[in-house]
Amino acid sequence: MKKILLIAIVSILISTSNSYGDSKPVFMSPDWAKAAVDAWNNDPILTVELYKSGWATNTKNNRGFKIIEIYREDCLKSQHIQLKIEPKDGKAVCVYGGEVSDKEPDYIMWANTKRWVDMGKGEYGPMKAMMFGRLKFKGPMWEAMKNMDPFSSFLLLTGKVDSDFSSCH
């Protein structure tokens, strides 16, 4: 009897640790976006180079920030997410990641999950992705073209956040 009780307790502990302790955010969910904030802010190409190039300070209507909206094209019911970037202390700092909070994003990018995964692994960069229709893009194309290295780093960022790709929600 004690052995059965011990096995039951161990089983419950294992199942709850797998259910709660090891959970990864669903790829491109609001929780994923919150984790992406740290990934952005720990990337010197995104933080330093986007500031040096003037990208972070070239804001729509002088509003003082940039909004990047991204989503998974094959997850029709999933939310779009946004990252908000502000110039601070000589860097392009990501200050928000989560649900859509701004109705006028500077950039909108979308792709199928497989393509996001491929880009996150560095299998190809933004030029090839856009040329072959693997990444769709709305926004100031010239500004993006002038910042191709940081744009590449942004695509790699999608692979830096440990994610659950098996679900859209």
Domains and CATH numbers, the chain: 25-157 (3.30.1050.10)
Query: What whole-number distance in Å separates Cα of residue 124 and Cα of residue 134?
Result: 10
Give the whole-number percent of the chain exceeding pLDDT 70: 87
Per-residue HEC secondary structure of 66-131 comes to EEEEEEECCCCCCCCEEEEEEEECCEEEEEEEEECCCCCCCEEEEECHHHHHHHHCCCCCHHHHHH
The overall average pLDDT reported for the chain is: 88
**Per-residue pLDDT at 17 exceeds 50:** no
Q: What does the pLDDT average to over 59-80?
A: 93
Q: What is the structure's pLDDT at 33?
A: 98
Q: What is the structure's pLDDT at 22?
A: 63
